[in-house]
Amino acid sequence: METDAKKAHRKRLSGPKAEKKRRKRDGSAAGNKSDGKEAGTACPIRRNPKAFAVHSAVRLQKEFHHAADVALRRERLPVVDRAPLVLPPVIVVLAGPPLVGKTTLLRGLVRNYTRHRLAELHGPITVVAGKQRRVTLIECKNDLGCMIDLAKVADLVSLGFSVLLILPEFMFVPLMSAMFTSYNYFQESLCVGILHIGQCFPCT
């Protein structure tokens, strides 16, 4: 029984690898190891160095001075001041359970700043508190989503701030500070609760 002959290896006769081997065999690939490119695709300054020689010292001096001027002009570009001319208003949120006086307080603040009475309140109200100071008053509804949204943007919270301090704890870690006024008018039981809130949320 005759044994089957194994299939012989067939060398590549065309293609990039065959061309590379052919050039290497012919000796045309010498000197291309330095720049890592194939023969015939070497950089022009290596293939014809005389074409890139300095022919005019005056032209070389002009090119050098032009490049230096461009670099200096780039360093002296004016910096655009993008700071706002008028500072954004301070956002004050009035939050708390129903029937605690949020709307009454908001109307009183608007009347104090504008000397006008508002019959209906819709949305945030921005009042001018000084020549370069504005205040935006927002009444927070008794809604969890509304409380979370306003707790992220509020600069100052009046009434019911304990809830707005607890909610952002699960959303992010803000820099908050609690401010208590007329502390001596609170009842004893309420003072204990306020001290507990101050321990949970220290001023940062």
pTM confidence score: 0.45
Q: How confident is the model at residue 68 (pLDDT cuts 50, 70, 90)?
A: very high
What is the C-alpha to C-alpha distance for residues 141 and 96, in angstroms, rounded to an integer? Answer: 8
pLDDT-above-90 percentage for the chain: 8
**pLDDT (tens digit, 9 = 90+) per residue, 1-42?**
566 778 888 887 888 888 888 888 887 545 444 444 444 556
Higher pLDDT pick, 185 / 109: 109
Q: Do 51 and 57 touch, CB atoms closer than 8 A?
A: no
End-to-end CA distance of the chain: 94
**pLDDT (tens digit, 9 = 90+) per residue, 72-125?**
888 877 777 777 777 888 888 888 788 888 888 899 989 998 888 888 888 899
Domain ranges of the chain: 90-200
E strand segments, 49-191: 90-94, 125-130, 133-139, 156-158
Q: What is the pLDDT of residue 191?
A: 47
Q: Do 160 and 101 touch, CB atoms closer than 8 A?
A: no
Burial of 163 (0-12, 13-18, 19+ CB in 10 A): middle
* AA identity, residue 175: L
Token pair in block for residue 4: 């089957």
